[in-house]
């Protein structure tokens, strides 16, 4: 029977860390995009690599070496994102209001597609019967909503436009027109769907945001009793 050495102890530790990280991931205790998962895999690979000094295996060493390098790259990218300039106040207001649970790493990934725009009074933000190509966040000003030419809504800062058709596509169900100057944030539909498909965290956070907005509007419509939607301004929560 082979004596249990320090190399063997590190090998055992590596196996425990590998299995523990994967088990925690499958149990939903950690996320695949979280730094915790990356660190566990880095420590596991380093432990197994050290254990190979007792009984060398080139191919196993190559696997562990690349695993370590990839993990370090992932950690480095996260640190780089954290060191970048913070989002401006307008963008932070949107994130706190609609995507408060989205991790920083995924937030940068999603918001790189966003753009701020200023529109004069009378600008059509959506046209009934026409395709919707973006999710729009109303940051400043108000917008009127009409269905078949009949006024049914007034949207205030904090509202989303296009949330009902973002995921499944289709045409806008109403005309949305700026009442006076407005400032809006555009998130292009095609890019948002790409990020949703690629990142479960973005899919989860965006799904919650869209569902919450739809429910909020339905509650207001039910409260008015006449199908109208006239929500009061919705300020972003404090940090």
Q: Are residues 101 and 75 part of one domain?
A: no
pLDDT band at 98 (very low <50, low <70, confident <90, very high): very high
Give the model's pLDDT for residue 119: 96
Q: Are residues 62 and 14 part of one domain?
A: yes
> Which residue in 125, 230, 129, 233 sits closest to 185, CA to CA?
125
Flag whether pLDDT at 218 surpasses 70.
yes
Q: What is the mean pLDDT of residues 48-68?
A: 91
The CATH number given to whatever domain includes residue 117 is 2.60.120.10
Cβ–Cβ < 8 Å for 108, 84: yes
Cβ–Cβ < 8 Å for 178, 143: yes
- The string of DSSP codes covering the chain is -----HHHHHHHHHHHHHHHHHHHHHTTSS-TTSHHHHHHHHHHHHHHHHHTTTS--HHHHHHHHHHHHHHHHHHHHHHHHHHSPPPPHHHHHHHHHH-TTS-HHHHHHHHTT-EEEEE-TT-EEE-BTSB--EEEEEEEEEEEEEETTEEEEEE-TT-EESTTTTTT--BBSSEEEEEEEEEEEEEEHHHHHHHHHH-HHHHHHHHHHHHHHHHHHHHHHHHHSSS-B-PPP-PPPP-
pLDDT band at 199 (very low <50, low <70, confident <90, very high): confident
Q: What is the mean pLDDT of residues 120-147?
A: 93
Domain membership flag for residue 204: yes
Domain membership flag for residue 159: yes
Flag whether pLDDT at 214 surpasses 90.
no
Give the model's pLDDT for residue 224: 60
Flag whether pLDDT at 80 surpasses 90.
no
Give the model's pLDDT for residue 164: 84
Q: Are residues 220 and 153 part of one domain?
A: yes
Q: How far apart are CA 237 and CA 239, in angstroms?
A: 6
Q: Which of 83, 110, 131 is the last residue of a domain?
A: 83
Q: Are residues 98 and 191 part of one domain?
A: yes
Domain membership flag for residue 30: yes
Beta strand 134-147 with 150-155: parallel, antiparallel or unpaired?
A: antiparallel
Flag whether pLDDT at 194 surpasses 90.
yes
pLDDT band at 83 (very low <50, low <70, confident <90, very high): low
Q: How far apart are CA 110 and CA 86, in angstroms?
A: 14
Q: Which of 68, 83, 98 is the last residue of a domain?
A: 83
> Which residue in 222, 97, 229 sits closest to 174, CA to CA?
229
Domain boundaries, position 15? 6-83
Averaged pLDDT score across all residues of the chain: 86
Q: Are residues 179 and 97 part of one domain?
A: yes
Tell me: the pLDDT tens digits for 15-53?
A: 999 999 999 888 888 877 778 889 999 999 999 999 999
The residue among 124 and 220 whose pLDDT is bigger is: 124
Number of folded domains that form the chain: 2
* pTM score, whole prediction: 0.65
Flag whether pLDDT at 116 surpasses 90.
yes
Q: Are residues 124 and 21 part of one domain?
A: no
Q: How far apart are CA 214 and CA 216, in angstroms?
A: 5
Q: How far apart are CA 182 and CA 111, in angstroms?
A: 20
């Amino acid at each position: 029977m082979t004596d249990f050495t320090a190399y063997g102890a590190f090998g055992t530790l590596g196996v425990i860390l590998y299995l523990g990280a994967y088990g925690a991931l499958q149990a939903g205790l950690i996320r695949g995009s979280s730094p915790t998962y990356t660190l566990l895999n880095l420590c596991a690979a380093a432990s197994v690599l050290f254990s190979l000094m007792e009984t060398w295996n080139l191919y196993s060493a190559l696997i562990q070496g690349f695993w370590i390098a990839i993990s370090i790259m992932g950690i480095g990218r996260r640190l780089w994102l954290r060191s970048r300039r913070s989002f401006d106040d307008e963008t932070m207001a949107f994130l706190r209001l609609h995507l408060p649970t989205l991790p920083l790493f995924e937030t940068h990934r999603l918001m790189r597609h966003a753009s701020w725009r200023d529109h004069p009074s009378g600008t059509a933000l959506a046209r009934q019967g026409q395709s919707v190509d973006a999710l729009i966040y109303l940051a400043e000003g108000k917008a009127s909503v009409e269905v078949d030419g009949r006024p049914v809504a007034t949207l205030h800062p904090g509202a989303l436009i296009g949330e009902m058709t973002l995921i499944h596509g289709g045409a806008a169900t109403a005309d949305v027109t700026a009442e006076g100057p407005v400032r809006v944030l555009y998130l292009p539909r095609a890019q948002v769907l790409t990020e949703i498909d690629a990142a479960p965290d973005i899919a989860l956070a965006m799904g919650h945001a869209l569902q919450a907005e739809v429910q909020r509007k339905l509650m207001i419509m039910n409260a008015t009793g006449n199908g109208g939607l006239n929500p009061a301004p919705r300020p972003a929560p404090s940090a």
